[in-house]
A and B are shown apart, each in its own frame.
Chain A
């Protein structure tokens, strides 16, 4: 069960053909864990805002970009679309988020569900919303995600 670990920062994505433990910490951010049970690989993103608004670089900080990117990445590593399953986490409403970004967690969740639906990817399980942050560990070989609630985090 010993395998390398990767800490995923907000705005980054990670996927590999080798088994990994991918960990991240989520507040209002959402992480989509994609898993291919056939070839036993997985990948994760961690986005902060739902939609790229055309400002700055089109990075996976934004849900619409991050989700497409992680799907592409898994396909590039040899997964076929019909095998890919998703588990989604995060999107808590943590008080003292930016004032002009109301309901950011809610909107992050919505975009994740919408895009996965559009792309015909089944959501196997999820842990979303609420008021607490989450710490998750994704085993890319078994597809198992362990979650623990944590205190205030962005």
Chain B
């Protein structure tokens, strides 16, 4: 069966355009397979990013038929019969064609203090049980692979560049629950600012597109439930 891919093209020295490519596909052909085929047989200048090809790394995140998906796990057969639109992630600086600069994603993680800051009195090796309620709740939110799909789907990110976005807030939630972490005071200063927790409108786009099945919207709600106490402690 032959399918048409409508692929977004852009580079710093050529204007934005959409190019149609026809590829032959079978029942298991993925969007990534089709893009690789186009690059090898039709247009070697087409740029896109991928690494593991098996849905582990999130490098091939792009917007396929209007929805953020990983190209390596999206079969063409699951996208209906019409042309398939392939665009780069939204809200990230374009580098070329379907490749975006992930630096803002890392910046947003940094902004909320997304690295564990061990408490001075924390044990060198974690003694906590994996069955502890704290750990159970963290486990539901910990598997983020940093693909950036949630940032692309979030409409608040589009309108407020200072909003940390779902991934960073989700990470902040896991650290908030982590009894070994000592960076909570600094993190809450950011979370309670005008541009963080208060900005989320609960549209749930992040949760709908997360390929790992995480619910950043839930993490944001849980942080908000804790926010009044933190405000009172100020």
Real complex partners, A and B?
no
- Residues of B with Cβ closer than 8 Å to A? none
A residues at B contact (CB < 8 Å) = none
